[in-house]
Structure 1
Amino acid sequence: MAINDVHLHCHYIHHTIYELVKSFPDYKKIMDLFEDKVDPLYIDKCNNVDIDVYGTFKSKIKNKCPQVISYLYNVYEQNNKNIPEVYCKYLSYWIYHDLLNKKYVNGITILYHSLIDVFKSIYKDVNVDILKRMYISDTTLANITSLYDIYTCLGIINDNRGYKYDKNFCNAIKAIQDKNKAEMEARFSALRDQNVVHTCKNKIPFSIIITLFIMFLTTLLLFIVYKFTPYGSYLSHEIKKIKKKWKNIHEASIIRESSEIPQYNLNDKCYDILYHCD
């Protein structure tokens, strides 16, 4: 049963695990095809799997192990060394949800690796290193289960054509949808507001740093031009011209102000004289 030079390539770059969940129902059908798979070699190898930590599930794991091996072999056979990531992820989910009935939160990855090792012991030429990295983390499995249940419910609703003629059923579905939509929008809005505030706080110091950097760079550039280039004398001459213009403007302003003060005083005195005349 050896497979020559077969390597597993799980494509996981372009998809998150949550995006892959919507395809899980399709891969459940594939797994179910091998539910009653009985192969003497598979059974013999599965009896050696280390499952002492799973208590009452030991017998079930050994009985279902050949099904897992058949599923994995189908992956290789059908995809010609090009294995979609969803195959890998679904197996990890299936171990948690179907095989162990969600009774174990921790240790799912250990069992996943143990079953992969059984597969490797049968098909020795297969490189399963990538496959062993393509599991769902134990902490994510609960979220995956909730999301998968939603897809399952949607599938049941879509398959149940009779609901279109049941007004009460439609109203119940709509009520659930509206309630959850409002709650999710409120949560996303709060999260978005937090992100905006956080982003603004981060941008303020950054803007100050950029401004100071530009000022420093401009000053340094002018200094270099002034000291080390032929344009230094020209720049010095222009600066003196500007300073002279400002000086002249300032002096003119002082002269104008000084010439206006006596006039104001004179007007005030005339007013006083006129006011006190009989």
Structure 2
Amino acid sequence: MSKNLYNFVSSLSGYEGIKEACNVDMKDVNITSCKPSILKEGCGDQDFYRNYLIAEKYLTYLRSNVNPRIVENACKYFSYWVYKEMIMEKSYSYSVSELHDIIRQSKNIHICQDYVHNITPEIYLNIKKLIDLHNNFMEVLVGTNSFDCDKAEKLFNLYNGLINTCYLNSDDPFCNGIETIRNGYNETLINAKDCAPYNFLQPFQKRPEKSANTIATAAITAISFASIMTYKFTPLGSWVRHRLSGNKNLRNKLEKEFTAPQNSSEIQDMEYRVPYNPS
């Protein structure tokens, strides 16, 4: 399964065109032709069955007509569309991969096996956000006088609503999808001065660095935990307990030191004594 589900968005119109072609003559579907042995409860839902037939035709088209180089993204679009139209607002227990398997086995259509994704509500919302950005970018480009600055303002506001969800140089696929659109937008509109200030999208913020205090606390906690494990569960611990067997007070003192709370003033002083390394 491909890690980056979101990169089909840049070619969205092409896959939607294939789906629309598969939708021709699908308005009046005879639900009695649905086989309960295949779709079970889905056979009682005409809209669900119609979309199932569209999904069949879509995969059949991919198998016969689509360049192998774009099959991956075409299959990702399939995952998104099946979730949106056949799963999201339905009470059925299907997943995208299950519906794909039903089509593959019943129609002997072997395509998309490596690229089908089980979409979650969170992933779907992220895809929808990217599609909204993408579609607005396309609308900016079809203005009567070079660019549509009203659409540019709308995209500008959409982007700013997402800018705090990602950090600069993130390896998150969703954030990379936003960054791809941002770069394309800026390269296209940078000289469109009549659309300023909406002709440039600011980059993400840098990820905040962890403070020295946080690092010190984590290190001290790890050392204390290791000390407890060494004392209680290793031969060294057994040796220490044996050596202290004749001095109960000293043993109790050592136990308290091993299990002392981590917010003591002594530890806090150690935190502030972390050496400064100029960068």
Given the two structures, how large is their TM-score scaled by the length of structure 2? Answer: 0.48
State the structure with bigger RCO (CA 8 A, min sep 6), 1 or 2: 1
- When normalised by structure 1's length, the TM-score is 0.48
Name the structure with the higher helix share. 1
